[in-house]
Amino acid sequence: MSGSTITPWVVGNWKMNPMQSDSQQLIQSLKQYLQAGPIDVAQCRIAVAPTAIALLSVQQQLQDAAVEVLTVAQDLSRVAGTGAYTGEVSAELLKDSAIHYVLIGHSERRELFGDDVSQITAKVTHALNAGLQIIYCVGESLEQREQGLAEQVVLQQICDLSSVVKAEQWQNIKIAYEPIWAIGTGKTASPEDAQAMHEKIRAGLKQLTGYGQDIAILYGGSVKADNAEALAACPDINGALVGGASLQAESFYKIAQAFAQTKH
CB-nearer residue toward ligand 13P: 91 or 241: 241
Q: Is 95 helix (H, G, I), strand (E, B) or coil?
A: helix
Any contact of residue 179 with ligand 13P (CB under 6 A)? no
Print the binding letters for residues 72-111 with ligand 13P: x by CB under 6 A, - otherwise.
Answer: ----------------------------------x-----
Q: Which of 50, 105, 179, 243 binds ligand 13P (CB under 6 A)?
A: 243
Q: Which of 8, 204, 239, 244 binds ligand 13P (CB under 6 A)?
A: 244
CB-nearer residue toward ligand 13P: 110 or 209: 110
Strand positions, DSSP E, the chain: 9-13, 45-49, 69-73, 101-104, 133-138, 173-177, 217-220, 239-242
* 184 labeled part of a ligand binding site: yes
- At 252, which amino acid appears? F
Print the binding letters for residues 208-237 with ligand 13P: x by CB under 6 A, - otherwise.
Answer: ------------xxxx--------------
Any contact of residue 241 with ligand 13P (CB under 6 A)? yes
Q: Which of 92, 108, 140, 178 is catalytic?
A: 178
Q: In whole angstroms, how far apart are CA 187 and each of 130, 161, 183, 226? A: 37, 27, 8, 13
C-alpha span between 160 and 157 (Å, rounded):
5
Buried b (16+ CB within 10 A) or exposed e, 162-198: bebbeeebbebbbbbbbbbbbbeeeebbebeebbbbb
Query: How many other C-beta atoms lie within 10 A of the C-beta of residue 227?
Result: 19
Any contact of residue 183 with ligand 13P (CB under 6 A)? yes
Q: Which of 92, 106, 108, 198 is catalytic?
A: 106
Print the binding letters for residues 11-40 with ligand 13P: x by CB under 6 A, - otherwise.
Answer: --x---------------------------
Spatial neighbors of 167 by CB under 8 A, at least 6 apart, are 209
Mind telling me the catalytic residues?
106, 178
Known binding residues for substrate are 13-15, 184, 222, 243-244
Q: Write out the residues near ligand 13P by the rule CB under 6 A.
A: 13, 106, 178, 183-184, 220-223, 241-245
